[in-house]
Amino acid sequence: MKKAGRERVAKRIARAGVCSRRDAERLIAEGRVSVDGKVLQSPAFDVGPESWIVVDGKPLPVAEPTRLFRYHKPRGVLTAARDPEGRPTIYDRLPPDLPRLVPVGRLDIGSEGLLLLTNDGELKRKLELPSTGWTRRYRARVHRLPEPEQLARLLAGITVDGITYGPIQVTVDRSQGDNAWVMVALKEGKNREVRRVMEYIGHPVSRLIRIAYGPFQLGQLPRGEVDEVNPKVVREQMGAAAPKAVRRDPNRRA
């Protein structure tokens, strides 16, 4: 049984905002992480509140309180740290005074709308887990008005190019000439899911806007703007799953 206050070292690294939990496990496997002066060989190692963790020769940063932000991502901006082709990324557009943030899920370069950002890698993982069960909601402009029978197929689940998608609820918002606006709700959020399934049934998407991720809404947030979610709201929505910041004596040295 794990002692109170102890947790996997990769989880602690992720919560400090250094990288994701998966990347932390990779760093450990490469021998780049030590705890209390001992280089780790396996991520199956628990640490306590006072454990001294060093990654690539640098002490693990003191964990800041968990923070979550809403960002209205514009079209034409990549959800990535950098791009070999020189296209703009979200980090080129975010204000410079923000802490180091990682995106919760992604929006492809042609999509826009709500993108959640957090300084806590463990919170990111929890928000992305399918078991969280949160619904992602989108407004999509599609070519031609879908038939009720097509929408029923999506609600029952559909397989496209060998990939099985769970139930997708699509309701018609309004028709506009040769196009229609539809509201899309899904729980999985697989890569380019909305675009792929709508194209498969013959209604390709020409504009896609995410308007909600679970209880967090885009609302009236202007395009390109970022806004912090009240920490109390994050705790209320996440409940016991919301990680707490770990404090460490700033005067302790390796």
Q: How many CB atoms lie within 10 A of CB 176?
A: 10
Catalytic pick among 108, 178, 227, 249? 108
Other Cβ atoms less than 10 A from the Cβ of 93: the count is 13
Task: Give one DSSP letter per residue of 23-85, joined into a string.
Answer: HHHHHHHTT-EEETTEE-S-S--EE-TT--EEETTEEPPPPPPP-EEEEEEPTT-BSSS--TT
Q: Is 120 a catalytic residue?
A: no
Amino acid of residue 178: D
Positive or negative, the CA dihedral 248, 251, 252, 254 is: positive
Residue 184 in contact with residue 131, Cβ under 8 Å?
no
Task: Provide the annotated active-site residues.
Answer: 108
